[in-house]
Structure 1
């Protein structure tokens, strides 16, 4: 690996949480989001020679992401939930400003998830990692769809409280 690729990889690794937050705010489908994020990573590495190291890397990487999201949106014009260019521009400015605080919260989410009991962890995984709807989850875990939805709400509440508690502890 040459030195330029090594530097690009280092910078990307640090910027990836903020870029991921930007892409996630624009691309709601999990599979599409992962594809767009992968395209962004490739574009960042390929266009790293155009990056000016005197400027902050995260806003530059979000600019690359903005272009990739724009390509994705143009291909998805027929969808009802598509942001316009102005909304994308506003988020591209806002995400780098809040990214450092929010990146810490992502770590807390991981910690809080590890504290869930196995059944709750399984429901969370089916919903948010496998992107299954409550009705499909219900069939798989032998519960009613309504029970699954309520359980997921309780899990989200527990995770929110846990993340807020850890955030307060970290700032104290």
Structure 2
């Protein structure tokens, strides 16, 4: 029974951070196929090492540390291909990403708060277009509007969200 609980906890954490972890890996590889391969291998390694994970710490930084070494290992194997980053550049990218982690967390928190301020219809539209990745034509048809009108509305929502996030980040910067 303890094994099932551990599997559930791991799956919940990995699922919650999948996009961020994949984006981290992709930022160092710049190829979706390679990033997906490394992400899959990294997921297995994370599960193998999950017993070593300290639940008092955040999961994402721990997972990113393991992913970083898996990317380096992947790069070492493919080092003859001139299209891959050097180990030195990977180290620099990792340091920069780690130092920018707090900024990203502030931006994500701000975005979550800004999304809650949207009108229900606008939030639904964001969910359909960005989270569900539905085609704009089908969303426009469902809403009974022309595609260009939908594009305009999505653009206004994005602008509204961008401005809201920028204001909130600036507030945090002034407070900190």
Q: Return the TM-score normalized by structure 2.
A: 0.61
Structure 2 stretches lacking a partner, 5+ long: 54-60
1:136, distance to aligned residue in structure 2 (A): 2.3
Specify the alignment match of 2:66 in structure 1.
61
Specify the alignment match of 1:86 in structure 2.
85
Per mean C-alpha deviation after superposition, the further-off stretch among 117-126 and 84-93 is 84-93
Q: Return the TM-score normalized by structure 1.
A: 0.62
Specify the alignment match of 1:135 in structure 2.
137
The RMSD of aligned alpha carbons is 4.2
1:117, distance to aligned residue in structure 2 (A): 0.4
Q: In the alignment, is the contact (CA less than 8 A) between 1:44 and 1:64 conserved in 2?
A: no
> Is it true that 1:147 corresponds to 2:149 in the alignment?
yes
Larger Rg: 2
CA distance in 1, matches of 2:144, 2:116: 23
The Cα offsets for residues 7-63 of structure 1, whole Å up to 9 and x where unpaired, read as x96xx78xx4853541465577xxx97x98676444323145899xxxx84652331
CA distance in 1, matches of 2:105, 2:39: 16
CA distance in 1, matches of 2:131, 2:38: 17
Deviating above 4 A after TM superposition, structure 1's stretches of 4 or more consecutive aligned residues are 23-28, 35-39, 48-51, 90-93
Q: In the alignment, is the contact (CA less than 8 A) between 2:136 and 2:150 conserved in 1?
A: yes
CA distance in 1, matches of 2:120, 2:136: 18
Structure 1 stretches lacking a partner, 5+ long: 75-83
1:108, distance to aligned residue in structure 2 (A): 1.1
Specify the alignment match of 1:160 in structure 2.
162
Q: In the alignment, is the contact (CA less than 8 A) between 2:68 and 2:94 conserved in 1?
A: yes
The Cα offsets for residues 120-149 of structure 1, whole Å up to 9 and x where unpaired, read as 111101111111232222122111111111
Q: In the alignment, is the contact (CA less than 8 A) between 2:24 and 2:64 conserved in 1?
A: no
CA distance in 2, matches of 1:27, 1:155: 30
* Greater RCO structure (CA 8 Å; 6+ sep): 1
CA distance in 1, matches of 2:31, 2:52: 26
